[in-house]
Amino acid sequence: MESVKMAQMACPFLARTPVSALRQMSVSSANSASMSACPHALPALSTPVPASAGGVMASVRQAAAAASLLESKSNRVAASTSTSALFKAAQSCPVFGHALAVQSVRRLGARQFHSATMAHTASIASTSTEQDMGRVPPRPFDAIPKPHSKPASASKKATGSAKGVSEEPAPGGFNYDDFFKEQLERKHKDKSYRYFNNINRLAQLYPMAHTGTGEHVTVWCSNDYLGMSKHPEVVEAMKVTIDKYGAGAGGTRNIAGNAQLHLSLERELASLHNKDAALVFSSCFVANDATLSTLASKMPGCVLFSDSSNHASMIQGIRNSRAQKHVFKHNNLEHLESLLKQYDLSTPKIIAFESVYSMSGYIGHIKEIAALAKKYNAITFLDEVHAVGMYGETGAGVAEYIDGMDEMDIITGTLGKAYGVVGGYIAASASLIDMVRSYAPGFIFTTSLPPAVMSGALTAVRHLKTSPVERAGQQLHTRMLKSTLSDLGIPVVPNPSHIVPVLVGDAETAKSVSDELLHRFKIYVQSINYPTVAVGEERLRITPTPGHGPELMDGLVGALKTIWTERGLKTEADWMREGGKAGVGVVGGEMDQLVRAEDLKDMMDRAYPYALDTLSGKQAVKSA
């Protein structure tokens, strides 16, 4: 009876039919009763529901509830060989027919989903990781019917191709696919299109990797600066943690994703930088973006001052804040001060800069900027991404090495470079950290990093707090390589850090040299083009690690020497004759290494029980 009343509410035509007639139809077979009670069911009268009925959508919503009861009742009352006349009429009705179809799909989908999922779950244990090589098992959801889905042939016809992204636009419509292709063509024309090499680093053969074809190559451009990604303590910690806690975090930090390992890592990072607190993010890109955009947008009238060579993550955060900004010339203190003095002390100000600029290897003026910040009542935001783990007594970065860490208000770092895992973080005062934690969407609304990642990062941070071995080996090999390339006239951009940029000066040539190193000499060094570096300053970015010993170094130097000679590429002397470029060939452009020779010797003496000269240390320290 309830289904009959709901049907009358949904359809104005059924509303005019006596209840006794509807009741008779609900218990009569379709073969023995008239099916004309609902004019909707008659082709000549299958017109939209009048406005008095509340419109089509209202009718459908009402009919959906009635349909569920009607279908259930019909299944109970009608025999297996017969269906009630009312149910048959409802199927023919545009309103009720749609509602019944939805109910049927829901029931069928639920049954097939449950069946397929259970079967898939039972087979997970026998599924090999070889699916990554092309043998991927079918997904359990593929068999579930989808309402209103078009046949594959119809879809293919509409798009013109199974791989198409959209239909042909209507006359005057925007052509999305053409737009995408035009943007890519611009990248190809200016030689800034990015090619990704298939490089699979081998933990047991570090710093070797295999390519997509299985060939072994030596990786000379990884940001795993100290080889911590394969360190046995880090790997073992991650294995133990994943066995205990599983693969994923389970949610955001606010919902089931806030584990003890997250809290322990944050305490360790706060201690590392001598700050009240720290906050871990999914990456340092997110950390920089979220922190700058949140702080600058919340502080009324905030003005941002950004170094012109800052990383894209900081630029994005500044843009997202929509706050007023000034970009000062790279490492130019005079320009920075000229901008700061334009504002009253009461105006909130943030100075954002880096300690190590990753493409040039230059070092930021940390203490000098701190002094300006104090003078003009600004707070400092220091990106130590390419320095944490690498510099300082405990690996806290350049600020620690030069004794300027306490003068920085906010320090950001990564867990994905020298620490060998993944993730980013900020360290600052307790109130600032809590504000970012409470307001930053990039922190709040994303799944937290898995426990195994937290465990590996925590182990790496603690290890590098006390071990000088990795830093000593990296610094030694950097000095050796810079000195050797300089002796050969191969143009290294002079800088005081661990980065070894080799200037090529042309995007297409840089890519070609990178390809030749890979395919001919089995050496992987990525080329760096615009917009990462300025046009005309394209380069190879080389990053020696503790694992790049003399034999591997001889191979790299020999390959570069061969390529430079055969191709007639510009040497340091050639750049000097042209007036210099990117610091190469500039008179007086030489720079001392940040890590002093005596500090390196001390690290080596503490790291190795044998004489420094057994690792070619005499030449390296002498050339510092």
Q: In what order do the strands lie in the sheet with 199-201?
A: 199-201, 208-211, 216-219, 523-524
CA distance 15 to 26: 15
Please give the DSSP secondary-structure letter assigned to residue 23: H
Largest CA-CA distance found in the chain, in angstroms, rounded: 107
Q: Rounded to 5 degrees, what are φ and ψ at 434?
A: -65, -35
Catalytic residue check, 417: yes
- Give dist(CA 329, CA 215) in Å, integer: 44
| Residues whose CB is less than 8 angstroms from the CB of residue 494 and which lie 6 or more positions away in sequence, other chains included | 583, 584, 589, 590, 591
The residue length of the chain stands at 624
Q: In one letter, which amino acid is 241?
A: T
Count of Cβ atoms closer than 10 Å to residue 574 Cβ: 16
Active-site annotation holder among 275, 417, 511, 570: 417
AA identity, residue 163: K
CA neighbor of 620 nearest in space, from 495, 525, 465, 486:
486
End-to-end CA distance of the chain: 94
Give the C-alpha distances (Å, rounded to integers) separating 233 from 29, 44, 228, 302, 449: 75, 79, 9, 44, 19
The token pair that represents 117 in the structure block: 């999922």
Give the orientation angle of helix 85-92 with respect to helix 94-123, to 10 degrees. 90
The tokens of 59 are what? Answer: 């009718």
- Exposure b/e, 495-526, CB count within 10 A at least 16 = b: bebbbbbbbbbbbebbbebbebbbeebebbbb
Q: SS3 letters for 442-501?
A: HHHCCECCCHHHHHHHHHHHHHHHHCCHHHHHHHHHHHHHHHHHHHHCCCECCCCCCCEE
Phi, psi of 425, rounded to the nearest 5 degrees: -160, 165
Consecutive H or E run containing 369: helix 366-375
Query: Before 531, cis peptide (omega within 30)?
Result: yes
Structure-token pair, residue 86: 């009312």
If one counts every other C-beta atom within 10 angstroms of the C-beta of residue 598, the result is 10
Name which of 321, 392, 304, 324 is nearest 356 in CA terms. Answer: 392
- b/e code 203-212 from CB counts within 10 Å (16+ = b): eeebbbbebe
Show the tokens assigned to 19: 């209840």
Q: Residue 465, Cα to own-chain centre: how many angstroms?
A: 27
DSSP string, 121-173: HHHGGG--GGGGGT-PPPPGGGGS--TTPPPHHHHHHHHSSTT-SSPPPPTT-
Structure tokens at 519: 């395919």
Q: Rounded CA gap, 381 and 304, in Å?
A: 10
Q: Please report how the helices 333-340 and 366-375 are oriented relative to each other, as an axis angle in degrees rounded to 10.
A: 20
In this structure, which amino acid lies at residue 365?
Answer: H
Q: Which residues are catalytic?
A: 417
